[in-house]
Structures are given as structure tokens and as C-alpha cells.
Amino acid sequence: MVRLYQYDTCPYCQRVIRAAESLGLVAGKDIEYVEAFQGTPGRAEVVRLGGQSQVPFLVDGSVHMYESADIIAYLRSKYS
């Protein structure tokens, strides 16, 4: 399952979430949304896994990426 580290008021995160929904990805089945607002355990995990305190952050096995446009392109190539 793909994990997306995000928080609700992040516009770039919302952009990725809308793209995932348009691809038919189901939360809890295809994609896991991890709360990663500043100061949360999710944000600490983003830094640990990727080295930067930035969201959105996608983890799919060995694939780790930050930029919303790159994440959307990756999801489209994987699920279209």
C-alpha cells in the first residue's frame, strides 16, 4: 500500500489527494494517509525517511518522493 504523508490544510497535499481519488484509489486499501502536520509523529517519520521536513511525501516501497507534481505523475503511471 502506498503511504502519503500529508495534512489537511496543505494545498499541495490536497492536490495529490484529489488526483488519487480521481484514479479510484481507496483510502485504507490502496493508499494510506498519514497525518504529518508540524510536530506530529508523521512529520518526524518524513524527516527520518526522506531527510526533509516537507509534505506531501509519498512512500511506495523503495520509492520516496516529495513534489506534488512528481507524486501525481507516479500515481498516474502506476494506477492508470
**C-alpha to C-alpha distance for 43 and 13, rounded to whole angstroms:** 13
pLDDT per residue rounded down to tens, the chain (80 residues) = 999 999 999 999 999 999 999 999 999 999 999 999 999 999 999 999 999 999 999 999 999 999 999 999 999 999 98
The answer for residues whose C-beta is within 8 angstroms of residue 71's C-beta and 6 or more apart is 4, 16, 19, 56, 58, 65
Residue 36 is predicted with a pLDDT of 98
pTM: 0.96
Q: Do 30 and 1 touch, CB atoms closer than 8 A?
A: yes
What's the pLDDT at 33? 98
Amino acid at 71: I
